[in-house]
Amino acid sequence: MKKGIKAISVTMAFVMAIVFLFAGCSGSSKYADNVSMSGMATEEKAYDYNAKMSAEAPASGSMFKSEEFDTDGSLADNMEATERKIIRNAALNVQTTEYDKAIEALAELVSRYNGYIQDMSSYGRSIGNDYSTRHSEYVVRIPSSNLDAFLYEKDSIGTVTFANAWQEDVTMSYYDQTSRLTALRAKEERLLAILEKAVKLADIIELENALSETIYEIEAITSSLNRLDNQITYSTVTISIDEVTKPVTVYDAPTTLSERIAHEFTSTLEDVGMFFADFTVSLIGAIPVLVVLAIVAVIVILIVKSVIKKSKRKKAASKIAYEQYQKTQQQTPQQTVQEQQAPSNEEKK
């Protein structure tokens, strides 16, 4: 009996071992399949991600190499080793009594320093036609290397009443965009390479969308860099030209009491002289209007006198008529009594 129980136990143990063995093989196979499928998917994603990261990374020929940041990682400290990108601009206000000559002098000065006129606006009329003066606004572009020489000869245009020059450092922005542009072009090439190998329609559509966005960014950055290059290469100078009867005179500030009195007295005399000059010019200029007004005044006076005379005549006539009426009223009662007495005398006879 004990031997039969022992045999049954051994048999059951053997069967259970076989069952566990098959279960382990099946689980191992499924696990291997899962690992294989997951590994394939992960490898595909890793390939896409690495391709994208490789496209985003700057090329080896980029303006900023990785070894440039091996000390402190600061971009600003490494700008000294690169070419500075500076935008230089200026503004001028000019007064002149010879407007046409000033315009010619400006055009000649711009041409001499290889510049060009970008924009121009003008209004007003010449002093000979009207008392309003002319004014012009010019926007000229001068090569940055010639800007200092151009500004040095600004007095050849006229009397300069205002001059200002300033500059803007765009070095960091310029090279940052350059680096970004290099990375985007590398990304574009990588996307094109992946697109050639793509088979699935969804992958093709996704790659084309990414490629369109990349091309759009490349065009935008390229346009921005071209604009910066133009502003860096050619400085912008804004020039305002005013036609005046007398340009502004620059005086040294008076310091002593006598100088202050002399300056104030001279200024007052100039103001008084200008007032009488303007008054005389205005008076002479108004002669045609004054003549017309005088003629109108004479006509009005004659009409008023004629009306007054007629009014006096009417009053005199009315007075005479009234006096005659009064006399008539006084004579009427006496005639009435005489007429009443006339029949009674006839009856007596």
What value does the mean pLDDT take over residues 33-38? 37
Identify the top-confidence range among 19-33, 66-80, 305-319, 331-345.
305-319
**Res 30: pLDDT:** 40
Tokens (6 digits) for 222:
């390229």
Residue 250, SS3 per DSSP = coil
Residues in the chain: 349
Residues 289-306, mean pLDDT to the nearest whole number: 89
Rounded to a whole number of angstroms, the distance between the first and last alpha carbons of the chain is 215
Residue 314 has pLDDT above 60, yes or no: yes
Task: Give the separation between CA 125 and CA 128, rounded to whole angstroms.
Answer: 8
The average pLDDT across 92-111 equals 93
CA distances from 175 to 13, 288, 312 (A): 77, 71, 101
**Dihedral class, residue 240 (left if φ above 0, else alpha if ψ from -120 to 50, else beta):** beta
* Residue 243 or 37, more confident: 243
- How many Å apart are CA 332 and CA 77, to the nearest integer? 133
| Residue 331 or residue 26, greater confidence | 331
DSSP-derived secondary structure letter, 85: -
- Token pair for 197: 């190998």
What are the domain boundaries of the chain?
1-35, 85-243, 252-277
**Percentage of the residues of the chain whose pLDDT score is greater than 90:** 39
pLDDT of 212: 93
Q: CB–CB of 109/158 below 8 Å?
A: no
Q: How confident is the model at residue 44 (pLDDT cuts 50, 70, 90)?
A: very low
State the maximum Cα–Cα separation within the chain, in Å, rounded to a whole number: 215
Higher-confidence position of 333 and 10: 333
What is the rounded distance in angstroms from the CA atom of residue 166 to the CA atom of residue 144? 12
The Cα–Cα gap between 109 and 106 comes to 5
Segments in 234-256 forming alpha helices (H): none
Helix (H, G, I), strand (E, B) or coil at 124: coil
Enter the pTM of the model: 0.54
Task: Please tell me whether residue 72 adopts helix, strand or coil conformation.
Answer: coil
Contact between 96 and 245 (Cβ < 8 Å): no
Is the pLDDT at 138 greater than 80? The verdict is: yes
Beta-bridge mates of residue 235:
142
Cβ atoms of 241 and 103 within 8 Å: the answer is yes
pLDDT digits (tens, 9 = 90+) for 178-216: 999 999 999 999 999 998 988 889 888 999 999 999 999
Mean pLDDT for 46-56 is 39
